[in-house]
Amino acid sequence: MSWREFWNRQNTIYVNDRHRALHDDQVARGICGLVRTPADIVLDYGCGDASEGETVATKCARLYLYDAAPTVRARLRERFAGTAGIEVLGEEGLAGVADGALDLIVVNSVLQYVPKRDFEALLDGFRAKLNPDGRLVLADIISPDASALGDIGALLGFALRGGFLVAACAGLVATFFSDYRKLRAQFGLTRYGEDEMKALLVAHGFTATRSPVNIGHNQTRMMFEARPEAK
């Protein structure tokens, strides 16, 4: 099984409905905080189930949702059928977004599942789709020296604050025996140092800064904001 196949199947990453709801709410609020004007056109790349997509859509003119997993896209299409301002894209739809059309691209908690060579190709695509004043936000980036203990600590803190600590502890045990752990051991997670990520962004035509806070609950991970360099 690959990471893509993993995300295309049912998984137990979210330990219960409350965890999922709090996570989706936090991510949506994070994305809302990045939208600059109600006219913005936004792409949430690798959006997952995005159950709070409507919250984001109220802040911008159009929200494109794209996820590599066909089963995720099918759920998104069902959830957002007829929702004004949200369009769920497949591969062709994504390729068909006009160059220069996007004001903001958010990629949250995705790049750890993407090989580095594929990420470099993605960067060129993102660069083309952004308008000259647009921004690319890469969030939840795992540094090479981050440990699984940091992820566990962040989850338990989130669970304590969110009132799902017991479920989170049970979820950690379940994860230990899950496909996720096997895949993590087999393929690992793609990691970037701060300087490495900035250098990659520059090499692909962006200026880049590290943001002081990450989207979501895990502040051991990094977020970067990149803008197309003037040609």
Residues that bind ligand SAM (CB under 6 A): 4, 7, 27, 45-48, 67-69, 72, 108-110, 113-114
Helices (H), 83-212: 91-96, 116-129, 148-162, 165-176, 179-187, 194-203
Closer of 39 and 74 to ligand SAM (Cβ): 74
Q: How far is the CB of 199 from ligand SAM (least distance, A)?
A: 21
Closer of 39 and 118 to ligand SAM (Cβ): 118
| Rounded Cα–Cα distance for residues 66 and 93 (Å) | 9
| Rounded Cα–Cα distance for residues 131 and 108 (Å) | 20
Cβ neighbours for 68, distance < 8 A, ≥ 6 positions apart: 4, 7, 46
Q: How far is the CB of 230 from ligand SAM (least distance, A)?
A: 28
Closer of 114 and 136 to ligand SAM (Cβ): 114
Nearest residue to the partner ligand SAM, using Cβ: 48
Instruction: Determine contact, residues 17/51, Cβ cutoff 8 Å.
Output: no
Instruction: Determine contact, residues 25/52, Cβ cutoff 8 Å.
Output: yes
Closer of 67 and 103 to ligand SAM (Cβ): 67
Tokens of 44: 């949430």
Q: How far is the CB of 166 from ligand SAM (least distance, A)?
A: 23
| Rounded Cα–Cα distance for residues 123 and 79 (Å) | 29
CB neighbour burial string for 132-170, b if at least 16 within 10 angstroms, e if fewer: eebbbbbbbbbeeebeeebbeebbeebbeebebbebbee
Q: How far is the CB of 161 from ligand SAM (least distance, A)?
A: 18
Closer of 25 and 229 to ligand SAM (Cβ): 25
Q: What DSSP element (H or E) covers 141? A: strand 130-141
Q: How far is the CB of 69 from ligand SAM (least distance, A)?
A: 4
Closer of 132 and 181 to ligand SAM (Cβ): 181
Tell me if residue 93 falls in helix, strand or coil.
helix
Q: How far is the CB of 61 from ligand SAM (least distance, A)?
A: 21
Q: How far is the CB of 110 from ligand SAM (least distance, A)?
A: 4
Closer of 189 and 229 to ligand SAM (Cβ): 189
